[in-house]
Structure 1
C-alpha cells in the first residue's frame, strides 16, 4: 500500500456520507478505540475478531494471490484530478462532486490500444486504454439541466497518483474545461481486477460482532494511518476498526460499539474511521477481516476495476 496518498477525503466522499459522518473516529494499531467492539480484546467478540484477522493474514502472506495483487495496478487515491489550483468557486466544486457536466465539443477516439503504467520505484505494466467518451461518462453522472462544468475537448496525456505500489505515472485523458487554463485529468486505464482470495468470507457466527470494512478513502503521507469507511446503525456509538499488522499485510477488523437492544430506526450510516498503525503501510496489502479480500478503494469518480 502506498505511503504517498494525498489527503483527498473531502473530495472523495459522496455528500450523503459527509452528512452522516459527523466526524472522523480513531482506532489505534493493534489496540482498540474507546468503547471497544462490544466484547473487549479479552472477550468473546474480541477473541473471535483477532483469530479471524490472524487467519486472513496467514492465508494471504506469501500466497499467489498476494503476488498477483502486488503485480497489478491498484489506485489508492482518486483517478480524477481537478484543474491545477482547484476550482474557481463553490458552485464549480459542487458541480464536480455531483457530476454535473456538459459536453460542448468533440471527444477523440483511441490513438492506440494499450497504455503503460510506470512506477516511480521501477517497473511498468501495459494495460488497455479506455476511450475519452467512456471516461467522460463517469464524470457526467448528475443533473443535465442544472449548473454544470462545460467540457469542450480532450487529449491523451499523463497523470501521477498513488497506488498500492507507490506513485505511478499513467495515461490520462486531459479534459479542457471552459473557464480553466489547465486540464481536468482522468486516468485512461482501468485498475487491475483483484485476485481470487485464498480464504473465504467469515461466516459471522452469532455474537461475533465482526463487520465488513466498506472502503479505503485515504492513506496518510507518512503511511502511519489509513482512513476507511465503516457502517453502523442509529442506536450505537459508531464503528470501530482494529488493525492486525504483519510483514506482508494489514488486516482491518470492523465492529460497532455500544449497540443497544430494543426498537431502533433501520438507518444505515457510514462514517470515516482513521486507523493508526505501528509502522508505515509500505507495500503491505490492506485486507478486510470479514470478507478476506483487499479493502476496495472508495472512489466516487472513475471506472470500477475490470
Structure 2
C-alpha cells in the first residue's frame, strides 16, 4: 500500500509464544506508539496484542482475501480536493470541514454508467459511477453553523489520489464553487467492497487489552509511517498502537494505557497516533488486529480525515 498522503491511517491465541521482531514504533500526536516490552499491565497487554497480531498476519498473508483486496480500489487519502490553492479564509475552511454547503442551480445527470480507475504503475479497474447529486450530498451534511459554501454547478472530469496500489487517476465530479476560479473535486467512484476477512474479530476477555482502530488518517509520502485514529477515555494515559510487520501485511494493535480504577466520566476521545515502520508500507495490507480487517480510511463520522 504505497503512498503519499497529501495532507499530512485491526488482535488472539493463548499466550504460549512471545513473537519476536514485531517492529518498532514511535510516539506522536496525542497518542503513543510503543513496542510493549516489560512486565507491567500495559506490557502484558503488549504480549497479548503481539500474539493476536501474528494470528491476524498468518491468516491474511497469501490468502484469497488478500488477493481480492489488492485488486481493488481503496483510497488512502481524501477523495475530495479543495479548489487549487485552498480556501480563501478560515470561514470557508470551516464550512468545508463541517459540511455547510448550499446548492444554487442544477447538477448534471450521469453521462455514462461506468468509469475507469487507472493506476500509475499499470493496471485499471472499471467501476460504477456515482451521480453528481450523490457526491454533493456527501459534501453537504447539513451543518448551518456560520457562512457556507455555494455550489453552482458540476461537470465530470478526473482527479489523481493515493490508493493502496499507489497513485491512481479516477473519474471525478468537478464542482463550481461561488467565489473560486478552480473546482472543488470529488471522486465519482466508490471504494471497492472489502472482502470477507479470513479471521474472526478478537474476543477480548478483559475488554481493554485490545480496541478497534477508528480509521486511517495518512500514509507518509515515503511510506515509512502511518497515522491512525485510536480512542480512549477520560481517566487513562491515552491510546497505544503496536505494530507487527510481515512481507504481506502491517498489523496494528490498539489498546488503552493506564486506565484508572473507580468512577470515570463516559467521555470517548479519538486521537491521532503516528506509527513508524521498519520499511515502507508498499502494497502490504494495513490490518486492524482487533477486527481482523483492513483499516478503513477516514473518520468514523464521515468528516474529512485531515
TM-score (norm 1): 0.88
Q: Secondary structure at the match of 2:263?
A: coil
Aligned length: 284
Give, in whole Å, the separation in 1 of the partners of 2:210 and 2:39. Answer: 12
Give, in whole Å, the separation in 2 of the partners of 1:52 and 1:145. Answer: 44
1:30-82 per-position Cα deviation (integer Å, ceiling 9, x unaligned): x249x998331xx3x22221110000000000000000000000000000000
Q: Secondary structure at the match of 1:160?
A: strand
- Partners of 2:91 and 2:146 within 8 A in 1: no
Give, in whole Å, the separation in 1 of the partners of 2:189 and 2:289. Answer: 29
Equivalent residue for 1:121? Answer: 121
For the pair 1:25 / 2:31, whether they are aligned, the reply is yes
- Partners of 1:171 and 1:187 within 8 A in 2: yes
Give, in whole Å, the separation in 2 of the partners of 1:46 and 1:8. Answer: 28
Equivalent residue for 1:19? Answer: none
1:125-167 per-position Cα deviation (integer Å, ceiling 9, x unaligned): 0000000011001101133584211111000000000000000
- Partners of 1:172 and 1:186 within 8 A in 2: yes
Give, in whole Å, the separation in 2 of the partners of 1:38 and 1:116. Answer: 50
**Shift in alpha-carbon separation, 1:154–1:36, aligned structure 2, 3 A:** farther
Q: CA deviation at 1:24?
A: 3.5
Give, in whole Å, the separation in 1 of the partners of 2:175 and 2:152. Answer: 8
- Partners of 1:99 and 1:140 within 8 A in 2: yes
Q: Could you say what the CA RMSD is over the residues aligned between the two structures, in angstroms?
A: 2.0
For the pair 1:91 / 2:94, whether they are aligned, the reply is no
- Partners of 1:36 and 1:240 within 8 A in 2: no
Equivalent residue for 2:75? Answer: 75
**Shift in alpha-carbon separation, 1:161–1:120, aligned structure 2, 3 A:** same
Give, in whole Å, the separation in 1 of the partners of 2:182 and 2:168. Answer: 21
- Partners of 1:52 and 1:289 within 8 A in 2: yes
Give, in whole Å, the separation in 1 of the partners of 2:124 and 2:41. Answer: 45
Find the partner of 1:38 among 38, 41, 45: 41
Give, in whole Å, the separation in 2 of the partners of 1:75 and 1:284. Answer: 14
- Partners of 1:115 and 1:129 within 8 A in 2: yes
For the pair 1:51 / 2:57, whether they are aligned, the reply is no
Equivalent residue for 1:155? Answer: 155
Q: CA deviation at 1:257?
A: 0.9
Equivalent residue for 1:239? Answer: 239
Q: CA deviation at 1:223?
A: 0.7
Q: CA deviation at 1:124?
A: 0.2
**Shift in alpha-carbon separation, 1:207–1:103, aligned structure 2, 3 A:** closer
Equivalent residue for 1:197? Answer: 197
Equivalent residue for 1:17? Answer: none
Q: Secondary structure at the match of 1:46?
A: helix
**Shift in alpha-carbon separation, 1:266–1:111, aligned structure 2, 3 A:** same
Equivalent residue for 1:14? Answer: none
Give, in whole Å, the separation in 1 of the partners of 2:137 and 2:258. Answer: 42
Q: Secondary structure at the match of 1:217?
A: strand
Equivalent residue for 1:106? Answer: 106
- Partners of 2:239 and 2:256 within 8 A in 1: yes
Give, in whole Å, the separation in 1 of the partners of 2:30 and 2:281. Answer: 20
Q: CA deviation at 1:3?
A: 1.9
Q: CA deviation at 1:26?
A: 3.7
Give, in whole Å, the separation in 1 of the partners of 2:206 and 2:97. Answer: 39
TM-score (norm 2): 0.88
For the pair 1:186 / 2:186, whether they are aligned, the reply is yes
Q: CA deviation at 1:207?
A: 6.8
Give, in whole Å, the separation in 2 of the partners of 1:293 and 1:268. Answer: 22
